[in-house]
Amino acid sequence: MTMKSASILALLLTLAGPLTAGQTYFVSPGGDDAAAGTSETTAWKSVAKVNAATLAPGDTVAFQRGGVWQESLQPSASGTAEAPITFTAYGEGALPRFDGSDEVTAADTRIDTGAPFSAVLIEGAFLRTPVDWSAEGATLILQREVAPGAKLRVVRRENAVNLQGLRHLVLKHLHVDATAKMHGGYNFRIEGCEDILVEDCLATRGGKHHFGVIN
């Protein structure tokens, strides 16, 4: 490149202004929603904070690997074709997991779980209804022997990653687990959206569909 052409290129770059990238926000179970979220040391804590955030095209939200959130990711902002909004992972270890279940302790054959639920897990495996369990509202009624103090999980949240009417998003390196529900229970629900890339994501113990792409 001649000195003249290099000078012209430098002038064009100056006139065009600096190239800017979107902001990256970090989310960690050990974070703080009052923090800035813009570095690993100032990470946010909750998915609710992400859902409420005003994200801009080109932004990235990175969840800490090994982290577990018992919340549903439901962002409200769209990216652009040139600058999608990305939800991904950072750090090392297992994929960040959005868990649709909550732990309860077997103290008796009738357990007040605190809120309605759709399925029951013990040691990671589903119990069968009505053979193994039934429910009266939020009360779990065990129909089989379970050791006192055993840790059960009741499934409450479906659509743990829930995109509604959004455009130009990327979901990468995320795990959704335990959203099972009769005739429902999507792990990833993508409805009325356009240009959504789902890459290297994991869905386990879902209900009707692990990945639902609707309308």
- The better pLDDT of the pair 184, 77 is held by 77
- Output the CA angle 166-169-173, nearest 5 degrees: 130
Q: Does the bond joining 18 to the residue before it have cis omega, within 30 degrees of 0? A: no
Q: How confident is the model at residue 207 (pLDDT cuts 50, 70, 90)?
A: confident
Classified as helix, coil or strand, 120 is strand
Between 5-9, 22-26, 163-167, the lowest mean confidence (pLDDT) is in 5-9
DSSP H or E segment with residue 122: strand 119-122
202: its two tokens: 């994991």
Average the pLDDT over 23-48 and give the result.
Answer: 98
Predicted local distance difference test score (pLDDT) of residue 16: 44
Using a pLDDT cut of 90, give the percent of the chain over it.
Answer: 81
Predicted local distance difference test score (pLDDT) of residue 1: 52
Between 6-15, 82-91, 98-107, the lowest mean confidence (pLDDT) is in 6-15
Predicted local distance difference test score (pLDDT) of residue 2: 54
